[in-house]
Amino acid sequence: MTAASRSPKDFFRPLAVGAPTPLREIPARPSRAIHFFDPSNPKMAAKVPDMIGTVDVLLGNLEDAIKADNKVAAREGLVEIATSTANLGGRSGPTQLWTRINSLDSPWALDDLTTLVPAIGDKLDVIMVPKVQGAEDIHYVDRLLAQLEAKAGLDKPILVHAILETARGVANVEEICGASPRMQGLSLGPADLAADRRMKTTRVGGGHPGYLVREDPPRLGGVANLEASRATYQQDLWHYTIARMVDACAMHGIYPYYGPFGDIADTTACEDQFRNAFLLGCVGTWSLHPKQVAIANRVFSPSVEDVAHARRVVAAMGDGTGAVMLDGKMEDDASLKQCLVMVELAEQLAAVDPELKKQYDAIGADADESEA
C-alpha cells in the first residue's frame, strides 16, 4: 500500500468537508534540534519562553517519559504554554511548536487529539505519532485531524511526523512516508525499536562497545599470529535503519531525523552520533536536555569551510554543466548538486540564526577580498 491507496487525483483532497487543503510540498523549515520538554513539569515549562529563538523546535511531550498520573496535566500544560507564550509555533516565528501524542493504542491518544486541535491547532506545526506500524496508523490520524481541523475552522493543515520504533514500522517505512500529504518526516525511536527487535542494547540510542569489527591478525611467514593484539573499530548500530529512513524520506519529499541520545553526560559520543546522521542525510535530531541543543545546532549546520567550498564550486561551475578542476579535484554537474544542497541549507539556516548568518556572510567577504 502506498500513496496509490488513494487515487492520485484524490491524494491532495481534504479528508473532511471544510478541512484545509493539504500541502503539495512540505516546507524545509530549520529543525536541527527538536527539543523535548514535559509540559507537566513546572521547572521545564518555565524554561520554554527563554528557549524561543535559540532552538528550532520545542516539542511538548505527552507520551513515554510522562508518568501515567501526569498525562492530563501534560496535555493541559501544553495548551497553557501554547496559548500564553508569544512567538511560539503557528508557521511563523523563530521556533516551531510540535507535540508527541500518546500511542494510538493507549487510553490517551484520542483525548490528546480532540483536546489539542480545537485549543491550539493554529499554533501546532507538527504532531509526532509514536510507534507507527504502517500506513493504516497515518490514515487514521489523517482523517481524524481533517475532521477536527474542519470543526475548529483551521486554515492550515497540521503536519504529521512518525517515529519508527517497531520492526513492522521499519519494514513499512516507504508506505508510512507516502501515506498522506501531511507526512512531514520520520524519527528513529532506538529504545522501543531495540526492544521490539530483541536487540541486546539497553541504551537509548548511540553505539555499543560489543558491536565491532576487528583487524585481521598479522601474518608471520604466511601463518596468522592469533596472539597479536589487533585494533577493533566500533560500528554504528543504527546505520541500517537511518539509511532506510533517509531513502524513504527523500523519495517522498519529507525529512529524516536521528532521535534521542540518552547518555546526556557523554556530549562527545552524542555529537558523533548526531554527525553520522547529518552526514547520511538527516536534517535534525532530538534534544532531551538543554545542553544537547547547542550540540544539535552545531552539528546540523554545515561548517563554514563546507559552505565556503560549496560556494566556490558553484561559482566555478558557471552554467552548471561540464567539468572543472578545483584544488586538484574534479568537479562536475553532480558534485555541483551536492554543493547546492550545502549552500541552500546554509541559506535556510542563516535566515533564522543571526550568529550563523554572520559566519556565512564573513565567507562572502573573505572571498571578495581575496578576489579584489
Ligand X SMILES: CC(C)(COP(=O)(O)OP(=O)(O)OC[C@H]1O[C@@H](n2cnc3c(N)ncnc32)[C@H](O)[C@@H]1OP(=O)(O)O)[C@@H](O)C(=O)NCCC(=O)NCCSC(=O)C[C@](C)(O)C(=O)O
Residues in binding site for substrate: 100, 165
Closest CB 177 distance from ligand X, rounded Å = 18
Judged by CB under 6 A, the residue of 56, 125, 165, 353 near ligand X is 165
Point out the annotated binding site for Mg(2+).
Answer: 165, 192
Annotated binding site: 100, 165, 192
CB of 74 to ligand X, least distance (A): 11
Task: Kindly report the backbone phi and psi dihedral angles of residue 125, in degrees, each rounded to the nearest multiple of 5, phi listed first.
Answer: -80, -45
- Residue list 145-164, contact with ligand X (CB under 6 A): 163
Which of 38, 175, 192, 353 binds Mg ion (CB under 5 A)? It is 192
How would DSSP label each residue in 169-211? HHHTHHHHHTS-TTEEEEEE-HHHHHHHHT-S--SSSS--TTS
Supply the minimum distance, in Å, between the C-beta of residue 64 and Mg ion. Answer: 5
Nearer of residues 148 and 288 to Mg ion, judged by Cβ = 288
Measure the CA–CA gap between 17 and 330, rounded to whole angstroms: 55
146 beta partners: none
The correct pick among 16, 23, 44, 243 for binding ligand X (CB under 6 A) is 44
Residue 22 burial (C-beta neighbours within 10 Å; 0-12, 13-18, 19+) = middle
R_g of the chain computed on alpha carbons: 23
Check if the beta carbon of residue 19 is closer than 8 Å to that of residue 271. no
The binder of Mg ion chosen from 157, 189, 205, 256 (CB under 5 A): 189
Closest CA relative to residue 138, chosen from 258, 252, 38, 247: 252
Q: What is the DSSP string of 6-50?
A: S-TTTTTS-SSTTPPPPPSS------SEEEEE-TT-HHHHHHHHH
Contacts 24+ apart (CB under 8 A), 132-136: 132/162, 132/163, 132/164, 132/166, 132/169, 132/176, 133/166, 133/168, 133/169, 133/172, 134/1, 134/168, 134/169, 134/172, 134/175, 134/176, 135/1, 135/2, 135/5, 135/172, 135/175, 135/176, 135/178, 135/179
Q: Which is nearer to ligand X, 291 or 358 (CB)?
A: 291
Binding mask 11-50 for Mg ion (x = CB under 5 A): ----------------------------------------
Q: Which is nearer to ligand X, 8 or 42 (CB)?
A: 42
Residue nearest Mg ion (C-beta atom): 192
With CB under 6 A as the contact rule, the residue among 31, 40, 61, 99 that binds ligand X is 61
Residues in 272-331 that interact with ligand X by CB under 6 A: 288-290
Q: Which does 142 bind (CB under 5 to 8 A by kind): Mg ion, ligand X, none?
A: none
Closest CB 51 distance from ligand X, rounded Å: 7
- The interface region with ligand X, picked from 3-11, 19-27, 41-49, 115-123 by CB under 6 A, is 41-49
In the complex, least distance from residue 219 CB atom to ligand X, rounded to whole angstroms = 43
SS3 100: strand
Q: Which is nearer to ligand X, 59 or 307 (CB)?
A: 59
Near ligand X by CB under 6 A: residue from 4, 28, 65, 362: 65
- Is 157 in contact with 145 (CB distance < 8 Å)? yes
Nearest CB to ligand X, comparing residues 117 and 132? 132
- By C-beta, is 15 or 129 nearer to Mg ion? 129
Residue 337 CB neighbours (<10 A)? 10
Residue 257 found at the interface with ligand X (CB under 6 A): no
**Residues of the shown chain interacting with Mg ion in the complex, contacts defined by CB under 5 A:** 165, 189, 192
- Interface residues toward ligand X, by CB under 6 A: 36-38, 43-44, 47, 61, 64-65, 163, 165, 189-192, 204, 259-260, 264, 288-290
